[in-house]
C-alpha cells in the first residue's frame, strides 16, 4: 500500500519512476510547473535555465508574456540547455550567433547575458505583447523553421506563470540532496553556503530587503533550533503585503526551488507554504509554525521568504 500511495504522489507531481525494488521507489530528479491548466516537466538543469530566463524578465519589469516567448524560444532552440555547439556558430540557450552580432562566444553562453540580449530584441517589436507567441519568437530569431515555436507554448506558459510568481506554489523540484560538511558562520554572520545563496538571489533579482542574520550572528528573535542561529538562514522581505509584493515573493521562492540543488538549499518557506529538499518529492506543503497555527503575518512567512541552506 505504501508503494502504491507513493506512486500516485509521484505521478501527480509529474515524476518518472525508474524502477521499484524491495518496496523502494527510485525516481529521476525532475521539476514540474502547473498553471492555468498548462503543465511542464523539466530536468533540474532545464529548471535552472528556465528560472534564469524568468528572473531576467522580472528584473527588467517585463510581463510574463515576454518570459513565455523567451522560454518557448529556448525550448525549441536548445531544449533549455546551455549548449556549447549548434548550427554554424550558434551557441547557448537561444543558439545566438556571434557572427550575427549577438555577442562573443563566451557571452552568448552566459544564460543571463543571452536572455538579456533576447529581451533587448523582443521589446523592439511593437506588438509583441499581443502577437502570437510563435510569431514573436520568430521575429527575434529569424529561424529557418518559422512555425517551430508553436509546440512549446503550453509548457512555456506554465513555466513563465510559476517562475514569475503569478501562480503560487506551482513550481517544484524533486531532488536527492547530498550530505554536506558543516560550516561555521563567517564575519558577516552567514556560512559560506548561505552567503553564496544571498549573492545568487541579489544577482538574479537585484538588491533586496534582507534580514535574519548579522555580523557576529543572531541569538534571539527566532524559534528554538532555528537555522538563523547557525548562520544558515536568510529572510527576504516583501512588504507591505499586497498583490505585487506577493507575486515578487513567489518569484523568488520558486526561483530558489529551481536552484535548490545548485545552491544546496534545505528549506524555502513563504506565504504559508513550505518546500524542503528532504521531502521535496511532496512539493509545496502547508506550513505550520513550530508553536502552532497562527494568523500572524510574519510567523506565517507572508511578508518574507525564508531560505536556509544545508
* Residue spans of the chain under pLDDT 70: 1-27
Distances (CA, A) of 40 to 14, 37, 95: 9, 10, 22
- Report residue 104 as a C-alpha cell: 562573443
CB 205 within 8 A of CB 58: yes
Task: State which H helix or E strand residue 171 sits in.
Answer: strand 171-174
Predicted confidence at residue 146, as pLDDT, reads 85
- List the 265-270 sheet strands across, edge first: 209-211, 233-237, 304-309, 265-270, 273-276, 285-286
- Report residue 30 as a C-alpha cell: 525532475
Helix axes 64-78, 153-163, angle to 10 degrees: 130
Task: State which H helix or E strand residue 234 sits in.
Answer: strand 233-237
For 114-148, letters b (16+ CB in 10 Å) and e give bbbbbbebbeeeeebeebebbbbbbbbbeeeeeeb
Predicted confidence at residue 144, as pLDDT, reads 84
CA 146 to chain centre: 29
Q: What is the phi-psi region of residue 213: left when phi exceeds 0, alpha when psi lies from -120 to 50, beta otherwise?
A: beta
- Report residue 32 as a C-alpha cell: 514540474
> Residue ranges per domain, the chain?
35-172, 181-309
CB 154 within 8 A of CB 200: no
Pick the closest to residue 236 from 249, 246, 247, 245 (CA basis): 249
Helix axes 44-59, 243-258, angle to 10 degrees: 150
Predicted confidence at residue 16, as pLDDT, reads 46
CB 269 within 8 A of CB 305: yes
User: What CA–CA distance (Å, rounded) separates 249 from 62?
Assistant: 16
147 upstream amide cis, omega within 30 of 0: no
Q: What DSSP state is assigned to residue 166?
A: S
For 156-186, letters b (16+ CB in 10 Å) and e give bbbbbbbbbbbbbbbbbbbbeeeeeeebebe
CB 225 within 8 A of CB 133: no
Q: What DSSP state is assigned to residue 87?
A: S
Amino acid at each position: 500500500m505504501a508503494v502504491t500511495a507513493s506512486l500516485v504522489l509521484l505521478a501527480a507531481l509529474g515524476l518518472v519512476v525508474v524502477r521499484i525494488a524491495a518496496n523502494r521507489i527510485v525516481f529521476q530528479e525532475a521539476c514540474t510547473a502547473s498553471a492555468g491548466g498548462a503543465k511542464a516537466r523539466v530536468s533540474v538543469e532545464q529548471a535552472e535555465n528556465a528560472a534564469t530566463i524568468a528572473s531576467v524578465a522580472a528584473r527588467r519589469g517585463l510581463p510574463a508574456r515576454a518570459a513565455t516567448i523567451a522560454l518557448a524560444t529556448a525550448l525549441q532552440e536548445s531544449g533549455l540547455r546551455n549548449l556549447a555547439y549548434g548550427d554554424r556558430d550558434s551557441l547557448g540557450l537561444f543558439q545566438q550567433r556571434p557572427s550575427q552580432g549577438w555577442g562573443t562566444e563566451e557571452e552568448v553562453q552566459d544564460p543571463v547575458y543571452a536572455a538579456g540580449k533576447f529581451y533587448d530584441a523582443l521589446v523592439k517589436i511593437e506588438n509583441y505583447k499581443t502577437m502570437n507567441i510563435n510569431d514573436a519568437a520568430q521575429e527575434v530569431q529569424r529561424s529557418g523553421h518559422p512555425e517551430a515555436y508553436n509546440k512549446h507554448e503550453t509548457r512555456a506558459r506554465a513555466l513563465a506563470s510559476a517562475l514569475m510568481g503569478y501562480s503560487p506554489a506551482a513550481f517544484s523540484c524533486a531532488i536527492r540532496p547530498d550530505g554536506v560538511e558543516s560550516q561555521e558562520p563567517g564575519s558577516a554572520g552567514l556560512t559560506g553556503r548561505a552567503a553564496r545563496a544571498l549573492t545568487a538571489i541579489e544577482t538574479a533579482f537585484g538588491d533586496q530587503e534582507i534580514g535574519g542574520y548579522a555580523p557576529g550572528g543572531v541569538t534571539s528573535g527566532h524559534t528554538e533550533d532555528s537555522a538563523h542561529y547557525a548562520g544558515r538562514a536568510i529572510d527576504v522581505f516583501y512588504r507591505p503585503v499586497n498583490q505585487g509584493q506577493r507575486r515578487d515573493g513567489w518569484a523568488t521562492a520558486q526561483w530558489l526551488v529551481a536552484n535548490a540543488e545548485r545552491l544546496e538549499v534545505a528549506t524555502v518557506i513563504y506565504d504559508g507554504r513550505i518546500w524542503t529538499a528532504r521531502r521535496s518529492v511532496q512539493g509545496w506543503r502547508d506550513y505550520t509554525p513550530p508553536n502552532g497555527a497562527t494568523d500572524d503575518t510574519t510567523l506565517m512567512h507572508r511578508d518574507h521568504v525564508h531560505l536556509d541552506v544545508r
